[in-house]
Structure 1
Amino acid sequence: MTTLDLITREDLENFKKELFEELRKLKIDGADKAQKKWLKSADVRKMLGISPGTLQALRINGTLRFTKVGNILYYKNEDLTKILEENLTETY
């Protein structure tokens, strides 16, 4: 940019509008992913940071409810949230 290049108020307004539009799109896309009602095993393992064996143990001992369609296991997002909130510990 040289000393002759000027940024006008209109340029800044246009930039602001474009920036906010992009941020809105990102927020909407992120909200859609977070609001999935049913999650697959891989999603649950990633969310909780656990192994397939640990997930299986949670199913077997009844900690985590699931449903099976064909060979795919599905878990309710609200069940995961409930389990996480029940096991929430306070740290100081």
Structure 2
Amino acid sequence: MQSTIPNINSSTLLFVVPEEEWRNLHETLEQIIDLITRRNADDSGSEWIESEDARKILGVSPKTWQNYRDKRIIPFSQIGRKIYVNRADLDAFLRKHRIDSRK
């Protein structure tokens, strides 16, 4: 079967699309971009932070950080000697210990 498209560079192809179809396609692409952007923002909570960085974010001493881990106050993962904390768990801990302003 032979192609009906002349042998030309693909970058020179032009397509005619009705304006309404083009607008629908454009709107759909905008929605997809918005969903991806929101999902990426949500995924930032699944970031793993090294122990030292988590301790600095909390502003606690190494001993206090060790106590938090010993008492399982903040969940963590340990691989060998490396300790990691999920950013979402750290954020939840901070929210739980938030002190609201006086009204």
TM-score bin, normalised by smaller chain:
0.5 to 0.7
Flag structure 1 segments of 5+ consecutive residues without an equivalent. Answer: 1-34
Measure the CA separation in 2 of the matches of 1:62 and 1:47: 18
Segments of 5+ residues of structure 2 without an aligned counterpart are 1-43
- Shift in Å at residue 46 of structure 1? 1.0
Residue 54 of structure 1 corresponds to which residue in structure 2?
Answer: 64
- Secondary structure at the aligned position of 1:91 is classed as coil
After TM superposition, where is structure 1 displaced by more than 4 Å over at least 4 residues in a row? none
**Residue of 19, 41, 49 corresponding to 2:51:** 41
Q: Does 1:63 align with 2:73?
A: yes
Question: What is the root-mean-square deviation of aligned Cα atoms in Å?
Answer: 1.9
CA drift of 1:42 comes to 1.1
Q: What is residue 8 of structure 1 aligned with on the other side?
A: none
Out of 59, 78, 81, the residue aligned to residue 91 of structure 2 is 81
The TM-score normalised by the length of structure 2 is 0.53
